[in-house]
Amino acid sequence: MENVDAYPAYRNNINKALDFITRGLDTSNNLHAMALGTYVLSRANHNSKAAFLQRLDSLAINADGHKWWNKTAPTNEQHSPWYNTTRSVNIEISAYAALALLENNLVGDALPVLNWLMDQRNAFGGFVASQDTVVGLQALLMFAERFSTQANNVQIGFHYGEGAETILNVNAQNSLALQSVELPSSIKNISVSATGRGMALAQVSYKYNTNVTSAWPRFVLDPTVNRNSHADYLHLSACASFVSVPGDAERSNMAVMEVQLPSGFVVDTDTLPTLESSERIKKVETQQRNTKVVIYFDYLDRREVCPTLHAYKTVKVTKHRPVPVVMYDYYDNARRARQFYRAPKSNICDICEHANCGDICEKAEKHEAKEEPKPAKQRRSKRISRDENRGQWKSKAEFVLSLIGYAIGIGNVWRFPYLCYRSGGGAFLVPYMLMVLLAGIPLFYMEVLIGQFSGTGCTGMFRLVPILKGTGICMVIVNWYCVCYYSVIISYPIRMIYYCFWKIVPWVNCNHSWNTPNCTAVDELHKVGDENFKTSADEFYQ
């Protein structure tokens, strides 16, 4: 149809096809067929396009300045929460309707539809699936081509928090590039402003997780861990079938199964070609570095299909949490199901490599044997009380100041310039700064971060690496020597303060038991000609 001018010999065939579409739309109640057929008739400038466009518009939903089309759910599925979420089929229908309106230059009628489409986009600019993404972006692109300008220069500002602001510039050079900024998760209110000239699209996206098994399942989904599985090997069978309901199809469209593997496991990719040759399985792919398997089915019906996966543990992890298997209809994501399964049981003995693993495993087994499942409230209160007993920093500033006070003392202030002078002056700073950047700061951060992460002191945190277990004890011994040294240094000012209360301080005369015959009082220095003399102050500090 788009090449009718290039191939006039097929004009008669195209007209017959358009007449066939017209006759089919007259008797069809399929909303998707109505939207697609109206767009085709509008592209061909068919005589009946206005009538079908009016009929399509009468089936639209209008609310809050938005217009869209919603495929009716089966009678017993109308209360399903999945039919109230963004559905790929509704996006596709509305996108075809927007294309039909734009083909007829009804921009005012198309704007509410385009606004609704933009509200359904995800954070990456697409929609739910690939099919609706292609059609939806085509509608938005047609609008942009007609109303965009080469002098596009728009500044979009996002204002949030206490005076925080992010500015994004959209101009002719980057108008086709997606710009994004991640806001803090604590932000609840955001205001958006725009200045400049031209057109740009801005949106705020958010997401969250729900810890529930999929309600209103349209698939029977039963992931089972086979008995031959163990701590390092997973043999999973995920059986699935379609649940047909009155007023809906007996089988699904293309169905997709997403199998998430437990932490530390990766799928055995050598077994995937065999899986692809199974009944109704058209494609198998892996994601997230072989930790997630996506299986595409041609369709599913009441007959059960049980794909089997093999996975091996490559990273030592214990105490696994349940992981999900998700099943959904590719073209109607309201048809879905989700079930969780658990990895083969493992404990700390399976990952322990320390020399004292026997004691650790024995304690862990006793603890697991005694530990009974407790209500969430009790577990939470126990955790809170444990954290409260541990010392806490009042603020980030207090933590930073404590680090500065630990690293920088009075010795750094008065001794460092003297060391620079004795070691070559400014040239000494070059190797000094290199060692600070390459060794000093990394070691300092390592000590701080490991201690904060493990929640233990220096004697315990180096158990992370068995060969360094004694490092923390050595640090304590070195610090003990430093304490002795600092105690001596601090005692001198205390002694000087004590002498300041004397009427005559002891270092100004030679009337003390420690003085020698060569001692000369400070006020008699001008009378002495002997080079072997010592002042009373010299002898006092010796």
440 annotated binding-site participant:
no
Packing angle, helices 88-103 and 31-43, rounded to 10? 30
Does an H or E element contain 168, and which?
strand 164-171
Alpha helices in 166-302 (DSSP H): 272-276
Does an H or E element contain 135, and which?
helix 130-147
- Within a 10 A sphere around the Cβ of 531, how many other Cβ atoms? 5
Q: Which of 52, 17, 50, 47 is nearest to 31 (CA)?
A: 52
Integer CA distances (angstroms), 143 to 43, 105, 146, in order: 15, 10, 5
- Within a 10 A sphere around the Cβ of 267, how many other Cβ atoms? 22
Q: Are strands 519-520 and 534-535 parallel, antiparallel or unpaired?
A: parallel
Does an H or E element contain 443, and which?
helix 441-454
**Rounded to whole angstroms, how far apart are CA atoms 530 and 4?**
122
**Rounded to whole angstroms, how far apart are CA atoms 345 and 320?**
8
407 annotated binding-site participant:
yes
Question: Are residues 96 and 35 in contact, defined by beta-carbon separation less than 8 angstroms?
Answer: yes
Q: Which of 32, 71, 77, 90 is nearest to 245 (CA)?
A: 77
Q: Tokens 């892996």 identify what position?
A: 286
Q: What letter does residue 305 receive in the DSSP assignment? A: B
Residues facing residue 296 across a β-bridge: 256, 283
405 annotated binding-site participant:
yes
Residues 400, 403, 405, 407, Cα dihedral to 10°: -140
Q: What letter does residue 427 receive in the DSSP assignment? A: G
Burial 462-480 (b: 16+ CB within 10 A, else e): beeeeeebeebeeeeeeee
Q: Which of 406, 232, 196, 374 is nearest to 312 (CA)?
A: 232
Both tokens assigned to 363 = 């304690």
CA neighbours closer than 13 Å in the CB half-sphere of residue 457: 9
Q: What letter does residue 177 receive in the DSSP assignment? A: S
Output the known binding site for Na(+): 405, 407, 412
Output the known binding site: 405, 407, 412
